[in-house]
Structure 1
Amino acid sequence: MTLAERKSAFIALGKFLSQFKLDNSQQQENVPLNDSFYNDMLALIELSRSHNGWYTDEQVFFALQSWADALTRENLDKWLENYNLNEIESKKVGLILAGNIPLVGFHDFLSVLITGHKALVKTSSNDQHLLPFLAKYLIAVEPKFNNNIIFTEGKLEGFDAVIATGSNNTARYFEYYFKDKPSIIRKNRNSVAILTGKETKEDLIALGEDIFRYFGLGCRNVSKLFVPKGYDFKVFFEAIFEYKDVIFYEKYANNYDYNKAVFLMSNFKLLDNEFLTLKEDTSHASPISSVFYEFYDDLEQLKERLRTEHEQIQCIVSNQLTDDSIAFGQTQKPGLLDYADNVDTIAFLSKI
């Protein structure tokens, strides 16, 4: 299969996904195989919450639209233009995927296939249905993919390299088990935001998207704020009030009640707006429904600290306070070149 054929198949998938929007899904003409797949996709979206209570319609549609936006010819060409993919010997790459947010492992799946390798996929029990359905569509569009996509529920066997995502604890197991194979092993990471007190209300509203999208379950969700001493949290709370409806989702509300109770029983001082708690803490990893914060005196010292802690951090959100800052509201809209953990997956797959 040529690179052009692989690109064309994913472009067709992007067009297929572009039809599915919250409260506005509409079947379009000139989308390949719509008669066979469109209604089944709608049914799968409706069933997603029964498979995983965090996969609400809003979150699943957002993930589908994000990939629809990414899978265009222009984006694929720009992504791959600096790689030489013409002489790659096809290998079987094992993928152990996370399931914290919908289609979180799709970039790895795409990377393996677009480089001409075979994907041996072990999905998370929390996300067992979306990716296999999209793979089925890909194979229908381009039957040559049939021998390049394998899903397994058991132990990975017969692979040449592996990309595995898990917690810090499972990463130690992965590193031992896959020590004799080329690998990318991803661990826990969190995202942080640096505030100065000069942010506009629009900046802070957008920051709410970085905090609440996918209920805060992703590594690109902001879970920690760095603020100057004397920072007025009233301004922050007023801005994020737009996200108040998050408390009406049962699983989120249960986490809010539980984590708030644990904090209070431990006599921690909290800031609270009845759907999010703020707790002063040096850790980057806050529980669902809570964001940690920490005061800083010197911005340059903070930037140096974050450089030393780069292996713990996925994204830094700010108004261009660091060289690698992401704008407010953009953490959950990564491009194809925004590699998880800053590890170039295509470069890795080009050399195995």
Structure 2
Amino acid sequence: MTLTDKNHLIEIFTSLGRQLAEPDETLSAVIRNESFHNAWFTPENVKHSVRAIGHMLNTEDLQKWLSNYKTGASYPKRVGLILAGNIPMVGFHDILCVLATGNIALIKLSSQDSRLIRHVMQMLIEIEPELKNQIIFTDRLQDFDAIIATGSNNTSRYFDYYFGKVPNIIRKNRNSIGVLSGYETDAELNLLGHDIFDYYGLGCRNVSSLLVPEGYDFTKFFEAIESFHPIINHHKYHNNYDYNKAIYLVNKQHHLDNGFLLLKQDEKLASQLAVLFYQTYATLDEAVNKLNAHAEEIQCVVTQMQLDVKSQLVGFGQSQAPKLWDYADGVDTMQFLSNL
């Protein structure tokens, strides 16, 4: 049995999924210790991320995903991966894609998330020792055939300059947006709270802006998300909340405040931490046009409505639970790697 065999790959990744979904004591210790290195990586958030990846790596979804691609590579390519570190293990999917296509992952970790992925990769190697030849951690990328780099709009310009001559996927800033009809239930709005607050709002799949109908009353929204109030107890989040609140008060900028989230009308998609922007729409056609005009900046659209938009639609509470085929920026990573 070789690593080019799809069924064998599915067995390997499913086995890892089971271990991540129910962390043993060794992995649990790594999860607990992350907050000593990165204050945003609380045990609750790290465990949530690890388990989400574990549930993603199930046999049914792996079969569905891999059935669309050729696995293994006759002549493996060395693929440089520049990983982000905004939320725990955010770069795992890129590594998974490189391994599944039989290529070699040259992994440059973010300093914000440099321990957890190493540990999980060691778990994978213990399941299938042959994968050791496909996983290389490095502080400096060199001798690569392709690049997948995730960063900001600023760093993307440097990535373009340094890596533009090889096949590449270079990701920029993206944000997610929620669209409300005004008829959402309390339960739906509470689920939307997860899309806003999970990982403290630091992920590109976190909702940073809302589209609401003209005249929308935010009272029901604030009541529905009250259960997320404990987020204010995190000192770094609280500092951001206090800072942004002070700016709005000093500049006399109109905003709403429920004690742990600031809501401000603004056409920008990317809001500051502890702030949620919103825009209004008169008709659904207007809302769709706004979304499609900014499709290149949107990671996903969170709503209960079926809208004809270019971006990925997800239901309330689902933005941080992507499937294997929900590719960042809508770029098919597996297809890219298969064509190298």
**Secondary structure of 1:325's aligned partner:** strand
**Secondary structure of 2:76's aligned partner:** coil
CA-CA distance at 1:255 after TM superposition: 1.0
CA distance in 2, matches of 1:148, 1:6: 13
Q: Does 1:148 align with 2:134?
A: yes
**In the alignment, is the contact (CA less than 8 A) between 1:269 and 1:279 conserved in 2?**
yes
CA distance in 2, matches of 1:196, 1:43: 43
Q: Deviations over 1:59-96 (max 9, x none)?
A: 01111111111112221111111222355531010000
Partner residue, 1:190: 175
Partner residue, 1:76: 62
**In the alignment, is the contact (CA less than 8 A) between 2:72 and 2:102 conserved in 1?**
no
CA-CA distance at 1:202 after TM superposition: 1.0
Q: Which runs of 4+ in 1 moved over 4 A?
A: none
**In the alignment, is the contact (CA less than 8 A) between 2:72 and 2:103 conserved in 1?**
no
Partner residue, 1:281: 266
Q: Does 1:211 align with 2:213?
A: no
Q: Does 1:267 align with 2:257?
A: no
Q: How many residues align?
A: 334
159-168 vs 88-97, greater mean Cα deviation: 88-97
Match of 1:42 among 28, 32, 44: 28
CA-CA distance at 1:262 after TM superposition: 1.6
Partner residue, 2:4: 2
Partner residue, 1:17: 20
Q: Does 1:61 align with 2:47?
A: yes
CA distance in 2, matches of 1:68, 1:97: 19
The residue type equivalent to 1:141 in the other structure is I
CA-CA distance at 1:2 after TM superposition: 2.5
Match of 1:166 among 151, 172, 192: 151
CA-CA distance at 1:146 after TM superposition: 1.2
Q: Deviations over 1:38-66 (max 9, x none)?
A: 43312211210011100011101111111
CA-CA distance at 1:104 after TM superposition: 0.3
Partner residue, 1:346: 334
265-274 vs 84-93, greater mean Cα deviation: 84-93
The residue type equivalent to 2:151 in the other structure is G
CA distance in 2, matches of 1:18, 1:84: 27
**In the alignment, is the contact (CA less than 8 A) between 2:263 and 2:277 conserved in 1?**
yes
CA-CA distance at 1:316 after TM superposition: 0.6
Match of 2:318 among 315, 330, 345: 330
CA-CA distance at 1:139 after TM superposition: 1.2
Quickly say closer, same or farther: Cα 1:87–1:108, change in 2 above 3 A.
Answer: closer
**In the alignment, is the contact (CA less than 8 A) between 2:4 and 2:73 conserved in 1?**
no
Q: Deviations over 1:274-315 (max 9, x none)?
A: 000001111000011110011112220220221121100001
**In the alignment, is the contact (CA less than 8 A) between 1:88 and 1:350 conserved in 2?**
no
CA-CA distance at 1:108 after TM superposition: 0.3
CA distance in 1, matches of 2:72, 2:124: 21
Match of 2:232 among 236, 242, 247: 247
CA-CA distance at 1:346 after TM superposition: 0.4
CA distance in 2, matches of 1:55, 1:18: 18
**Secondary structure of 2:225's aligned partner:** helix
User: Where in structure 1 are there 5+ consecutive unaligned residues?
Assistant: 21-37
CA distance in 2, matches of 1:204, 1:193: 10
When normalised by structure 2's length, the TM-score is: 0.95
CA distance in 2, matches of 1:70, 1:195: 27
CA distance in 1, matches of 2:155, 2:282: 36
The residue type equivalent to 1:241 in the other structure is E
When normalised by structure 1's length, the TM-score is: 0.92
**In the alignment, is the contact (CA less than 8 A) between 2:159 and 2:170 conserved in 1?**
yes
**Secondary structure of 1:184's aligned partner:** strand
Quickly say closer, same or farther: Cα 1:87–1:53, change in 2 above 3 A.
Answer: closer
The residue type equivalent to 1:55 in the other structure is F
159-168 vs 78-87, greater mean Cα deviation: 78-87
Partner residue, 1:28: none
Q: Quick one: percent identity of the two aligned structures?
A: 49
CA-CA distance at 1:325 after TM superposition: 2.2
**In the alignment, is the contact (CA less than 8 A) between 1:226 and 1:295 conserved in 2?**
yes
Quickly say closer, same or farther: Cα 1:11–1:321, change in 2 above 3 A.
Answer: closer
Quickly say closer, same or farther: Cα 1:210–1:88, change in 2 above 3 A.
Answer: farther
The residue type equivalent to 1:309 in the other structure is H
